[in-house]
Structure 1
Amino acid sequence: MVKHSQLFIDSLLHPKKLAGYRLLSIGKTIQYVFLLVALVTLFSFIQFLTGVSEVSYNIEGLTEYIEDIQWLLYPFALLLLILTTTILLFVRISIYALVGVVILKVTNKRGEYRHMWRTATFAVTWSTLLSIVFTTLQFTGAIPTLIGIVITVFLLIIAATKYPKIPKK
């Protein structure tokens, strides 16, 4: 059985292995997605905690209000972060899987949406980590998003080359 750490390393360093992971169980793949969700959520929650404390020192009334409801604010914020991150990551993976199916058709390779969904799950690792780095460096906008898209599609193309060819009739 493949460990999550090995999946993470291969997602970062060995794009050709991503095609082989199309045969993993869907449970293992979804576990990996939730590890990415946990990573992004943890980063976002830390950023939320530090952002709230900076804002609250500048506005006295807001400081008192946040201190009064702080025990409610943080759990709801964490829950909301987990929910939105999960939805967004699953939607991103699904869209990339559609792009991957088109790549398979164009390159005359054999594969189904479910296979490409698994491959896309591991291909989004770089863009997920880069989004965290870009946010930390306060580099936001269209350019970081485009960088993530290009990297993910490039990894999908590399992985698609390792899919089996469609047999000639």
Structure 2
Amino acid sequence: MVKHSQLFIDSLIHPKKLAGYRMLPIGKTIQYVFILITLVMIFSFTQFVMGMSTTDTNTYNIEGLTQYVEDIQWLLYPFALLILLMTTTALIFLQISVYAFIGVGILKLIKRRGEYRHVWRSSALAITWATLLSILFSFIPIHDVLETVIGIVITIILLFIASTKYPKMPKK
């Protein structure tokens, strides 16, 4: 059985192997996606906590509200974590589904055989670079639109490379 670490390495440096992983059990693929979601959540939640702790009360001149937030901070963190989990999970699964739809179009365009479920698995692995770059770009002053475009282009290129390794359509 393939380990998650092997999936991670192959999704980063062996895009041709993404096509081979189309036959993985869906549970293994979803586990991998949740590992990516966990990475994003840890990073985002850390940023949230650091942002809350470095808030300057003199800047806003609303000390009553600031004191209230400090008093309920213990309650705020679990709710923030839950909301972060739900939104991150929904967004990443939506991204994978959209990329899989694009991947099916690529398969038809280059006359390869494959079903949506196979391309979905390949897409789930192909978003690894975009996910890691989104974390990296938070440290670099880059425009959000450019960050998104770079992630989309890289993911579609990886899907195209993987699609070339899918079986060819039978000749008529």
TM-score, structure 1 as length reference? 0.96
Structure 2 residue 117 is the aligned partner of structure 1 residue 114: yes
Structure 2 residue 95 is the aligned partner of structure 1 residue 92: yes
Structure 1 stretches of at least 4 aligned residues deviating more than 6 Å after TM superposition? none
Listed one character per residue, the Cα deviations across residues 115-158 of structure 1 (whole Å, up to 9, x for unaligned) are 00000000000000000111122424211100000000000000
Tell me which residue corresponds to 1:15. Answer: 15
Equivalent-residue separation in structure 1 for 2:136 and 2:75 (angstroms): 29
Q: CA RMSD in A?
A: 1.1
Equivalent-residue separation in structure 2 for 1:24 and 1:117 (angstroms): 11
Tell me which residue corresponds to 1:136. Answer: 139
Does the aligned pair in 2 maintain the 1:56–1:63 contact within 8 Å? no
Structure 2 residue 170 is the aligned partner of structure 1 residue 167: yes
Equivalent-residue separation in structure 1 for 2:29 and 2:171 (angstroms): 31
What one-letter code is carried by the residue in structure 2 that aligns with 1:64?
Answer: Q
31-40 vs 61-70, which moves further:
61-70
Residue 152 of structure 2 is aligned with which of 145, 149, 152?
149
Does the aligned pair in 2 maintain the 1:97–1:120 contact within 8 Å? yes
What one-letter code is carried by the residue in structure 2 that aligns with 1:107?
Answer: I
Equivalent-residue separation in structure 1 for 2:44 and 2:141 (angstroms): 13
- Count the aligned residue pairs: 169
Tell me which residue corresponds to 2:33. Answer: 33
Q: Percent identity?
A: 66
* Structure 2 residue ranges without an equivalent (≥5): none
Structure 2 residue 59 is the aligned partner of structure 1 residue 72: no
Equivalent-residue separation in structure 2 for 1:131 and 1:147 (angstroms): 10
* Structure 1 residue ranges without an equivalent (≥5): none
Does the aligned pair in 2 maintain the 1:26–1:118 contact within 8 Å? yes
Tell me which residue corresponds to 1:5. Answer: 5
The offset of 1:53, in angstroms, is: 1.6
The offset of 1:56, in angstroms, is: 4.6
TM-score, structure 2 as length reference? 0.95
Equivalent-residue separation in structure 2 for 1:156 and 1:134 (angstroms): 22
Listed one character per residue, the Cα deviations across residues 34-79 of structure 1 (whole Å, up to 9, x for unaligned) are 0011000000000001111222544433431122101110000000
